[in-house]
Structure 1
Amino acid sequence: MYTPRKKLRFSDDTQTPSTSTASQDEEYINIRGYPHNVSSLRQSPKMKGRYFNFTLQTGRHEYHETVCFVTEKHQTISNAAQTKTPVSLKSVTKAVAQTTTTSENEQFDVKINRKATILPVNKKTLQFQHRQPPSLQELTITDVLNTSLTDQAVTVRAKVTSNAVAELKTARDGTQLTLTKYIVSDKTGSIEANTWGNTTLQLHQSYLFEYLITKSFADTKNVQIGSRTVITPIDDIGDIIETPKEQPVVDTITGTVRSIKAILMSHCTNCKRPVEPLHSQIVRCTACDMKQASTSLSQNMQVTLQITGCSNTFTISHNVIDEFLQISKKQNLLTDAEDLEDYFLISAQNLLLEHTPTFHVTSITSLPPSPKT
């Protein structure tokens, strides 16, 4: 996950640099502290294996983001976080910091591989007490928008003020992923909150979002809901400010479907990542390792198609397809990708598509057949 620029050896748990050099190829550190915010198990997109993340508190105001590739240690670290028990990490790698946190000390991340050992520590031997990371201190949305830092962990209390908008994305390895976008607001403003996959966020419901990650794209700030984000429904936060957004430019095109591809994806009820049901009653998510009934998986239909007389490929989200099928009284097609494709090719002869300049369809209208000449 990380590419260390420099690795140092430490002689003991006090983080004093060692004067000995064990290897020119690989050097490690020993470090102690309290684990916080342990994530679920995740599948690495670049390597064949799984990992999990947590934050390691190594001082009163010192925190380090940590990635562990030894998945059998997940329960050990989770238990330590829940019981506020410190741990000793020996022979772990010091890596260049990827996520910024507020700290009075040097910023670096920690990487745990098979060479490492993890042992409990008596908290009386530490010179500091258990303290939640600063990322769990609440910020307003205006505070988040005004920060100059990206990839920073933050916590906000906000209300969902828009329905989910889903976009189908293709990863470099060809995997189809769904990016779901919401708008959340508080008394100071609004911000876009994104997540890969589906969530159970409800319109007009207030939530406490712990461990969101700030992102920035084209000078626009947003926050990302990740595997470590904890979302808790709360009482209504009261008056909010909904920042007006510029109305998107919408174009239209009319025609008959020339070609179409429909994909019905199932998502884990825990981590929301795509899973393959394999026609079994029980499935295990390869990302978070949670076993669940196939009937409990959430499903998401994504469609790409081409219209006669146009060379562009249009993408259609689950919500837009669902709305069109409800109007057409064909909702049964939402669970069968091939039947949906056949319906668009054979029965939906004349369609009006409203779409963005990037060819994301925002609505579909079935028009009367064109008069024959």
Structure 2
Amino acid sequence: MSAKKLKLEEEKNCVSGFIQHVFSVKTSRMNTLYFNATIQYQRDTFRKVACFDSSKHSTLMEASNARTPLKLTDVQIVPSKFDSSKSEVLVNHKTKIEVCRQLSFAYQQSTNDDGMGDKKKTVKEVENTPEYNKVAVEVKILSCGPITAQIVREAPIQKQELLVGDSTGSMKLTVWDSLVSKFEKDKSYVIKNLTTRFFQNAKALTTTKNTLYEPAEDIINCVEPSEQTDVIEKEGKITQVCLIMNFTCETCKGKVPLSEDDSKFIRCPSCKMKMAKESLQKNIHGTLCFSFNQEKVRLSIFSSTLYTLAIANQLNTNDTEGMEDFLLSHSFKITFSTEAKIIQNIVHVTNVAGLI
């Protein structure tokens, strides 16, 4: 055997273990398709995997979901570009993948993505993450909603609803304040320090004061969301309405009934924490009957939609009676879901026509 062939044989390596955190296929700056993953190759030791053969994505994804141990033959072990004290596994079209019949250790979930310091998760993993957990994701922006406003501590702040996705699914991301309008449709980003929430019977993400983002390479195998075909827009009159205002604790999110005295402070009945009344989070929601084209429908409306309406029409959000009078006195264009019966947008028709 020649020295050259002997050297090639010596460079061949194999690694066995459990594949985890299989991310979406992306395009590198050199226009090469690749995706990242993590492999548990010892009882509590993990390595980052970079695979430059996109045809192996489904195989590694299935093994990850089923927790099937694999043996990867003809891989390269190279220093990690994120931490030179660690190594990572490079997989290409020559790498052979087969089921590993026996391992000396059991499956253990990786708590972060190969020690990169970010709890990066796929959309599917986020869906299985409890509420109020901080996560990082690498996603593509599928759509950008209109900029609206919400009152927080007596001041309006901007918000925007985005739809984001990767190869495992899609979900809503609510962007607040300075991050509004920072994300472009069809662009991919790594977004860190997001919080998981549960909104309208679905898991969602929201930005925080510590949220950071950076552009990422294009995700090409993103799951396209199903079109929402039950959303319609109608013009008509509101015949009945009931708006309810409540206040919630910033710490535990429990409801806090306001006392009628002049005290500046109040104690949360749920977590027993005492706080300034001005720190309470105000929420308004309600139900209304909407009449259009000789049809009537009962709809629900929530804070963000009401605050946007109030700001556009200079309404006092502390005066629910006045807001109800306004809703009963004018015509509106309302966008709503015929299935969920939830108002997504409401516009005073005279504002649409430019009249005052």
TM-score bracket for this pair, using the shorter chain length:
0.3 to 0.5
Compare the two structures and name the one with the higher strand fraction. 2
Q: Structure 2 length normalisation: TM-score?
A: 0.45
Q: Greater Rg, structure 1 or structure 2?
A: 2
